[in-house]
Structure 1
């Protein structure tokens, strides 16, 4: 039998955290009880881990959770010299859960796999059938039965309120600084507190409220992963968020998740699937969705149709969006859709008309939504609208004006860490390259080189 190699990484972390073997074993046991999955370990177990024995997957997760909490930073399995002893299925997270217990186990495993940087989820590709299967399952599946929960600590309204407030803080950072800024910290939070809450005990009413909040949190994880360019992982989060929303019996949130799937499908070039997802969201909420939500569903369908080049169908979808939007009463809307105002609708029109080759009208709509928040709250949205305006000017043959607008976008982009922002800029750079050379454009390239985002997409150092 091959000799084990001492785990020096784990030893250094335990020492840095100020633990003895006994106190570390006790801290891991306490963490397991807090998570509702008690395990037995003592100072002998710690000695074996330090000698190179790999702990079980559940123990490994508790080890890094304990170290992360005490050290005040995210510690991964790799940091601690540990490996997951569980072989992850290639389709982890891509299957819509048929039972609640399956959904809880899948989403918690997905969070942990993400935190562990498992290649199965970080490097996985988009699966078009997963979109279709999830939307069909949601439309046809009966409500999931919700019981009192697992064997963990009792979960009450105060726990959920704290969880909600924390999610809101991460959402604000996502909007202001991009999905790449705090994504890993967010996943770490879900892996610890999200798992604890899902495995806790509560009444059926509290459990449904909990699943609604965790569904929103997993939806945010999907958006942040999508914004970071991790499209296969984002799709898995979207599917699991949909299942959690069904467990919460939150039809409107579930439809909004399908709507978000449509957004991603358009971005990655799966336009027909994107249109179908937006239609499924609308069909599944007939008679219950607010006009604002229905308007957004039509707008997402229009985005996909514009990319397909189907101008007449896109125009019809936009007309439906306007008709619904004019009936809206924001007081009737869920909190999470109230951001969708006149400026946001204008932004959707700008995207559609740009993609349909109507630069003049695209620029008019894009200009309407620039800086609408005024305080930088939706900095990334301002960046997108500015880039659409630049694209519209370029499409109209106004290259110098387009470049001037892009410089404005680059100033916004200095605070953003977003693969989507880089993609918008990369598309512009490719179109600009076909314009040819001029003194004015040379001056633009010189100024743009001062911005890290432009250097990233242009290959300049």
Structure 2
């Protein structure tokens, strides 16, 4: 008796989706893994490992499979899109997400051991003109990141970190430093971390967030945010809900006496996301109730500027993710529609991600035609920016529709997504957007 093929989860990652498509085409062609391997001069084990996302295939492997399987270029186009949007061997210097590396910094933060080094001499406060120039550049890059995606601005963010932010950090490490300078440094590291996630460099993102945590020093609230929101979201992005939950709970525990409603709501929302990902519906519901209660108590003038983005629409987005993970798709769709309706046209990445989330939920609830129609809108948003996360979300829609691959609307949607998100098309859209 032959061995049962490994069950695939196409929505797990771009590489998983590619593997699922390769298996679908091979099966439709009536070929075994060994037969396909012989035709393209690879071993059966290589075909198996590429199908099960255990190996990143070579370009020649993909092109030969496309030819032998009669895919008409579709498989090769999908692979080009995947490579363009982040499926690759780990880049030099990026070791990937390392959950154990978060434990010591979090413990040090809880115990208050991230402050000034003993005997360090006071540093001079940076010149106001330097602060203003760096703050203006940081705000420009933050807006460009929202509008065009990190693929366009992450090099500029790295330049800011290596130059003015490093200089400001040296001047902001002493007790004579201003809170404005310190917050600017932390904000720059936070943006750099977020941008690194958007280009697929999760190990780099982790390092940026941890650098921001050290730079925050005595700002308990900003430190809590970096641990319980930034790092916890990174853990969720990397599929580690347990670490996300641990981070959000640690951040909440470490800010009992100094938190604000917006920070408590944001932390509770991430706690709810982690519980939902773990399938813990009751705990997720309780955390969402806390997030809702704290949202009602927000007074914008009393909140730190760096959490000014957090509002009812953002919480609706977090709630929608919880509901999708819990399989409550009708409720999720109502929440994500509310979130999308409130977004400005310049928030292109968030529009792409939330529209793709809506399409994914519609596909999961059996609304195939509407899922494809909404998915096209998500493709249009994603094609206008350089954002790995946006493209991953579109591929997640396609993965959710994999069981309906023979439906005409799904075929047309897949072709549309492949064409619009191919590297040349994406580059052209970005030139127009710029």
Tell me what 1:148 maps to: 122
Aligned-partner Cα distance in 1 for 2:96–2:231:
15
Deviation at 1:147, TM superposition (A): 3.7
CA gap of 1:257–1:409, structure 2 versus 1, over 3 A, is same
**Of 388, 391, 399, which residue of structure 1 is paired with 2:360?**
391
Aligned-partner Cα distance in 1 for 2:208–2:145:
16
Aligned-partner Cα distance in 1 for 2:324–2:423:
22
**Of 375, 382, 387, which residue of structure 2 is paired with 1:406?**
375
Tell me what 2:251 maps to: 281
Tell me what 1:84 maps to: none
Tell me what 1:322 maps to: 292
Aligned-partner Cα distance in 2 for 1:453–1:317:
40
Higher Cα radius of gyration: 1
1:343 aligns with 2:313: yes
Provide the aligned length of Structure 1 versus Structure 2: 333
Aligned-partner Cα distance in 2 for 1:201–1:289:
23
Contact preservation (8 Å) 1:275, 1:304: yes
Contact preservation (8 Å) 1:156, 1:206: no
Contact preservation (8 Å) 2:172, 2:181: no
Tell me what 1:209 maps to: 180
Contact preservation (8 Å) 1:306, 1:356: yes
Contact preservation (8 Å) 1:278, 1:297: yes
Deviation at 1:444, TM superposition (A): 2.3
CA gap of 1:453–1:405, structure 2 versus 1, over 3 A, is farther
Superposed counterparts of 1:132-211, under 5 Å: 132-142=103-113, 144-145=115-116, 147-149=121-123, 155-200=126-171, 204-211=175-182
Superposed counterparts of 1:218-257, under 5 Å: 218-246=189-217, 249-257=218-226
Range that drifts further, 140-149 or 219-228: 140-149
**Of 276, 282, 286, which residue of structure 2 is paired with 1:312?**
282
Aligned-partner Cα distance in 2 for 1:317–1:202:
36
Aligned-partner Cα distance in 2 for 1:379–1:371:
13
Deviation at 1:371, TM superposition (A): 4.0
CA gap of 1:200–1:348, structure 2 versus 1, over 3 A, is closer
Contact preservation (8 Å) 1:347, 1:385: yes
Tell me what 1:438 maps to: 407
1:347-406 deviation per Cα after TM superposition (whole angstroms, max 9, x unaligned): 111111011111111101010011423331x22112111111111111110011001001
Contact preservation (8 Å) 2:196, 2:202: yes
Contact preservation (8 Å) 1:425, 1:454: no
Aligned-partner Cα distance in 1 for 2:342–2:190:
25
User: With structure 2 as the length reference, what TM-score do the two structures score?
Assistant: 0.72
User: With structure 1 as the length reference, what TM-score do the two structures score?
Assistant: 0.68
Aligned-partner Cα distance in 1 for 2:173–2:258:
28
Contact preservation (8 Å) 1:148, 1:207: no
1:260 aligns with 2:234: no
1:58-84 deviation per Cα after TM superposition (whole angstroms, max 9, x unaligned): xxxxxxxxxxxxxxxxxxxxxxxxxxx
Contact preservation (8 Å) 1:422, 1:453: no
Deviation at 1:208, TM superposition (A): 4.6
Question: Secondary structure at the residue paired with 1:286?
Answer: coil
CA gap of 1:331–1:403, structure 2 versus 1, over 3 A, is same
1:244-279 deviation per Cα after TM superposition (whole angstroms, max 9, x unaligned): 001xx2111111111210001011011111001011
Contact preservation (8 Å) 2:375, 2:413: no
Aligned-partner Cα distance in 2 for 1:302–1:263:
12
Q: Greater RCO between the two (CA within 8 Å, min separation 6)?
A: 2
Deviation at 1:214, TM superposition (A): 0.8
